Structure 1
């Protein structure tokens, strides 16, 4: 009852003051991310100026057993949680856009490498549970912005999209937003393939959380690893992992509590956590610690770079050492090489698949020619088989010539 009265009091104050969504987030979540801009706003680089960085993650330890209790009251959703049905609404929107756009079904190696996002979990996985986990959105200062309760499902795409949709409705239209997620690369491609109507989605930039980014292939890391791209600073995207550790003591008791008690307890802990974070942000000691860590990292990086610049460059003139311009040029070539060769490799794989399919078809047709029943076929059926053999043989020869020409050109380039 006390928590309910406290929540109503806060909402009444926000209503009387006519606070918008961003001002509410500044008061409840993080004034550093959602508060007014600093006086020296224009002194920051364009890549980091007024940039909001958030992280997304799911947790399936916070489950609730369906027979643990019976709720005689309707489910009350705390302010920090998305309303019940928000994820279902996003799922319907995704299905609608899939019907319109008809995106191609492609295997996603990044999503398949993460157990929580491989879409192989079903209702039998969550047998005996109604609420199967939580998914949250936190800012770069580890403050909780919003969560969604997962009901009898895994880490579906609708969950992070529902969280993003709520967030984007509460920030300025032109504000750049960076999203760090275990499979941020996959989520970005998913949104583009279906042309989902997220508010201000042109301002979104996706990355992978730092400790999960090295699971991805090198081409994916070049585009999404926050340590290999500008604008992310030292944000690691692992704020929710730290939060799950903070909430770990609630896992066992809340599995057997009522559904209302479960949500309210989690919301109450996060409310306390956010208030404590706001006090830390206003403390000079927090800023001093962050500044010291940044300068320490800068000194370490500078010393490593100076050591590299003293090494001889085997790719330059005799006696030359590595230079910053040379290293930058090599990095640019690395990125452009990956970007230029990805499509070529994909086309080559498609041609190889066609080649194997044609060979298989040709073997089947040859087997029919050797079949004793072949002599019982009509003249029309025989001519049709020969025409198919000729057609497949011509296509096979064409594909073999194209692939051999590509291999020869690659060998010539390597010799040069």
Structure 2
């Protein structure tokens, strides 16, 4: 609208009307969305007929007549292109002229004024001329194999009429194809080629979506002919060969090897790997004085690496390295095969200890397993950075039998060649075993391998740590180790999810093809991680501030309540342990033994022995000895037998409940026999109980006289001291003390049974999921797991009985802080879980760093004396853990700030490295030289743009990290 035609109204009035109209539009749009149920498909459904009609309209000529060529107006114009944007009709001359530079488009012709049928450009006489500019014909063209040349394009598989240039200055046929952006399948007399567009598309599609070459080739064949009437020629082997060459060339190109006059043969090991820009790289993203930096700064330059094996990436025993040596000879991630195999042969006699001093890890146990005759590689082992989840150069190798140390050691050494790092944090799920004789093995391989005298800190990833024994959980924990931040060591495990999808397509490959393929997969994975760095690091920065404040404030609140003298002693102890690499006593370790039933019985038996000895001495002093109750049965034996009868009653009730409605006479008879035997033993025990507890006899007599009282053995009341308290009957304090001690021991025994059975059940579920298939075997496995659940239920019932008895006894015995002293708590359903399982009732504690372990795994047992040593140990451990959490979150903030700086500096170095490549070589020709310079400049500018993106994303990062509480 012309401004001069605007109405003479105040601007405010026009503005208000505009906003009213806008509000009406928004309300109407919201109403439409509510009507459609916020579902675009519902909104589209009423238009189905209209859209279908448009699709069918395109099957006709769309109003264009075949007697009117869109180009020259010719009356004979029956052709239309299926791939061009224009849907008009063309004559043969015009359509060939239009597609001289689009030789792989698909045409269709209006047949007999009835419908369109496919027709290819070759049948219309189109010839593809190589070696000359478009439209210029060669004076001496050389036809390609009788016009039977095959080109693979995204539109399908085409048989084309192709002419090579035959002039005196003609280039080789592969070169002519490459200059036309056609990739030949062979270097000699090629008969097949693929467009660069197709290879780029499939390269990205295979890495991103794990599409196999066979599926992709089948898709191209169906695009060409989906009826089976005229199938295209099979070029699947050619496609796979071209893709291997394409991946290899792209790897060399991106690594700058094309800018070296020495060629690809001068490539150094690992030079073609995509390296992590966040990790510390001396000379690239570290300060010049990083080695001499003070300790409070030097820890920021540590290298965090992790080791893990993947047993899904197997390779069957097909082909060989002689027949399929591969194209990447240790240039990227896989180590050079010849040197690797020489090492394995040389140290094949290396004896690996298969008896674990910790848990029965599969990585150690499977070393000597059998059944590997048909498998050449049982998996791979890899080394990568554990903070950023990227594979390191020359850090991947095949395994033959389990995670043998001889394999892992070579890969580990290979990944550190040329490394100048002073301190390395190494995480491995079997670090507690692998690190024991680490230096002995390394010095055996090469006494000079670590001339720099580096320091290695061996830890176990956080998710794997709960499966280890208690000493490992204290000595190899990321949570307790100084200067590791919130690193969890599980990055290697996370990366397998993106790689496991290739296990099926690489299982039957030759050794070289498989290594080349996985090298490319790892490179793509690293690159994807790099492109996501701006967002991933920014997310960590945003999350760490609040979490750090919470942990620091919690520690400071706890720290203020601790006695200064104890705090000073604990600080000295934990700092000494941190500085000694574990040589000093571990302040996180539990040193006292929890009380068990066996220990309680031993203690009471010793007390009873002392009493017997004292009674014998008294008798010797008196001339006329007299008999006592203790001569008949000791109070310890009385209460102990009563508890045993209580347990037998529970078992008999469970056995009766398991009978069911279809129980056999034999099953019923077994229950009756057990009931009668229990009844007799209880009656004999009751006779002695009445002597110690006379008031119980009268009470029991009244209960027996009631018609409603059950006379079955499993229902007979035992009237133990804990039961008598509720009835307000007097009872000997000594009997209460004895039951208290026995109940505490039984409760801890029940907890130990629960912990053991939970671990057994977890292992059974793991074995069932991994190795058991078929209805028969699954039924048997479920039966075993059901029996395990039943035993857990029995142990829980035993614990509940003991806990309730202790609750009743505690007031009578004046045990105010008995829960703290014994380490016993009420056992809820959500408490009965494995230590690595999160609390199902707490949705905000589901991660490894924030989850809470059930108290059954952290209880310290009963106090063993009258002093405060046990209580102080519990306070010390809790104080050390709170301190460690606060320090780890504080360190994480410092690490994130350092990592942001390193990324920016790395891109600066990489940009300058590519600029130096512009002048590194004159090239083979002026055209080649121009291409070298253009590619190097583009890569340099790309790094500058990536640097700018990171700086923009992290502009407020230092400010956020400076907020909140921190140590």
TM over 0.5: yes
Structure 2 partner of 1:12? 257
1:117 matched to 2:364? The reply is yes
Query: Is the CA contact 2:352–2:404 (under 8 Å) kept in the aligned structure 1?
Result: no
Secondary structure, aligned partner of 1:165: helix
Question: Whole-Å Cα distance in 2 between the matches of residues 202 and 214 of structure 1?
Answer: 29
Q: Where do residues 346-357 of structure 1 align in structure 2 (5 Å cutoff)?
A: none
How far does residue 266 in structure 1 lie from its aligned partner after superposition? 1.7
Matches within 5 A, 1:14-93: 15=260, 24=271, 28-33=274-279, 34=281, 35-37=284-286, 42=293, 45-46=296-297, 48-67=299-318, 73-76=323-326, 78=328, 79-91=332-344
| TM-score, scaled relative to structure 1 | 0.65
Aligned equivalents of 1:23, 1:192: Cα separation in 2: 25
8 Å contact from structure 1 (residues 53, 177) kept in 2: yes
Task: Answer yes or no: is the 8 Å Cα contact 1:55–1:137 preserved in 2.
Answer: yes
Pair 1:328 & 2:586 matched: no
Distance in 1 (CA, whole Å) between partners of 2:304 and 2:357 is 25
Alignment match of 1:296 (pick from 531, 543, 546): 546
Whether the 8 Å contact between 1:119 and 1:154 is mirrored in structure 2 is: yes
Q: Which moved more, 1:233-242 or 1:289-298?
A: 289-298
1:287 to 537, 545, 564: 537
1:231-264 Cα distance to aligned partner (Å, 9 max, x none): 2222222111111111121122322333333222
Q: Is the CA contact (8 Å cut-off) linking 1:77 and 1:84 kept in structure 2? A: no
Structure 2 CA distance for aligned equivalents of residues 293 and 17 of structure 1: 49
The 1:106/1:72 distance shift into structure 2, 3 A limit, reads closer
Quick one: distance in 2 between partners of 1:105 and 1:23?
32
Q: Which residue among 158, 162, 170 is the counterpart of 2:418?
A: 170
Contact 2:302 2:422 in 1 (8 A): yes
1:127 aligns with 2:127: no
Distance 2:372 2:453 in 1: 33
Deviations 1:67-117 (A, max 9, x none): 5x6888332163210011444444466579x7xxxx99794323x531022
Contact map agreement 1:221 1:228 (CA 8 A) in 2: no
- State how 1:133-144 maps to structure 2 within 5 Å: 133-139=379-385, 140-144=387-391
How far residue 138 of structure 1 moved from its aligned partner, in angstroms, is: 0.8
Q: 1:87, 1:158 within 8 Å by CA — same for their partners in 2? A: no
Is the 2:366–2:401 contact (alpha carbons within 8 Å) kept by the matching residues of 1? Answer: no
**Relative to 1, partners in 2 of residues 1:237 and 1:333: Cα closer, same or farther, differing over 3 Å?**
closer
Aligned to 1:211, the other structure's residue is in SS state coil
Q: Aligned ranges for residues 11-410 of structure 1 at < 5 Å?
A: 12-13=257-258, 15=260, 24=271, 28-33=274-279, 34=281, 35-37=284-286, 42=293, 45-46=296-297, 48-67=299-318, 73-76=323-326, 78=328, 79-91=332-344, 107-110=355-358, 113-122=360-369, 124-139=370-385, 140-145=387-392, 146-172=394-420, 175-194=422-441, 195-196=443-444, 197=447, 198-199=449-450, 200=452, 202-281=454-533, 283=534, 285-309=535-559, 325=568, 327-329=570-572, 331=574, 336-337=584-585
Rounded to whole Å, the distance in 1 between the matches of 2:295 and 2:522 is 31
TM-score using structure 2 length: 0.30
Is 2:427–2:459's contact at 8 Å kept on the other side of the alignment?
A: yes
Distance (whole Å) between structure 2 residues aligned to residue 17 and residue 50 of structure 1: 34
| Distance in 2 (alpha carbons) for counterparts of 1:188 and 1:29 | 26
Distance 1:267 1:227, change over 3 A: same
**SS of the residue 2:257 aligns to:** helix
Q: How many residues align?
A: 328
Equivalent residues of 1:309, 1:321 under 8 A apart: no
Over 3 Å counting, the alpha-carbon distance change for 1:415 and 1:287 in structure 2 is closer
- Whether contact under 8 Å (1:121, 1:153) holds in the other structure is yes
RMSD of Structure 2 on Structure 1 (CA)? 4.1
* Contact 2:424–2:455 (8 Å) recurs in 1: yes
Q: Which residues of structure 1 form unaligned runs of 5+?
A: 314-319, 342-410
- SS of 1:221's partner is helix
| Residues 465 and 473 in structure 2, CA contact (< 8 A), matched pair in contact too | yes
C-alpha contact 2:378 2:399 (8 A) present in aligned 1? yes
Partners of 2:574 and 2:322 in 1: CA distance:
62
Task: Please say if residues 208 and 237 of structure 1, whose CA atoms lie closer than 8 Å, have aligned partners that are also in contact.
Answer: yes
Give 3-state SS (helix, strand or coil) of 1:28's partner: coil
Using a 3 Å threshold, how does the CA distance of structure 1 residues 107 and 129 change in structure 2: closer, same or farther?
closer
Work out the CA distance in 2 between the residues paired with 1:20 and 1:45. 39
**Kept after mapping to 2: 8 A contact 1:82/1:147:** yes
The whole-number CA distance in structure 2 between the counterparts of 1:322 and 1:180 is: 36
Any idea what SS the aligned residue of 1:48 has? helix
Is the contact made by 2:423 and 2:456 (CA closer than 8 Å) also made in structure 1?
yes
Give the Cα separation in 2 of the matches to 1:93 and 1:294. Answer: 49
CA-to-partner distance for each residue in 1:2-45, whole Å, 9 max, x for gaps? 112223333625756999979948x7211222232158965882
- TM-fit CA distance, 1:214: 2.7
Give, in whole Å, the separation in 2 of the partners of 1:167 and 1:250: 23
Give the Cα–Cα distance (whole angstroms) in 1 for the partners of residues 259 and 405 of structure 2: 32
Q: Assess if the C-alpha contact under 8 Å between 1:177 and 1:204 holds in 2.
A: yes
Question: Residues 341-375 of structure 1, C-alpha deviation per residue, up to 9 Å, x if partnerless?
Answer: 9xxxxxxxxxxxxxxxxxxxxxxxxxxxxxxxxxx
| Larger CA Rg, structure 1 vs 2 | 2
What's the CA shift string for 1:264-303, capped at 9, x where partnerless? 222212111111222233x2x3332222233233123124
What is the Cα deviation at residue 48 of structure 1?
A: 1.8
SS in 1 for 2:307: strand
Q: Which range moves more in the overlay, 125-134 or 72-81?
A: 72-81
CA distance in 1: counterparts of 2:567 and 2:259, whole angstroms = 53
Secondary structure of 1:229 counterpart: coil
Q: Is the 8 A contact 2:475 2:586 kept in 1?
A: no
* C-alpha contact (below 8 Å) 1:210/1:225 kept by paired residues: yes
What is aligned with 1:380?
Answer: none
The separation in 2 between residues aligned to 1:17 and 1:280, in whole angstroms, is 34
Q: Is contact 1:135–1:148 with CA below 8 Å preserved after alignment?
A: yes
Q: CA 1:70/1:82 → structure 2, altered by over 3 Å: closer, same or farther?
A: closer
> Structure 2, unaligned stretches of length 5 or more?
1-244, 590-863, 870-967
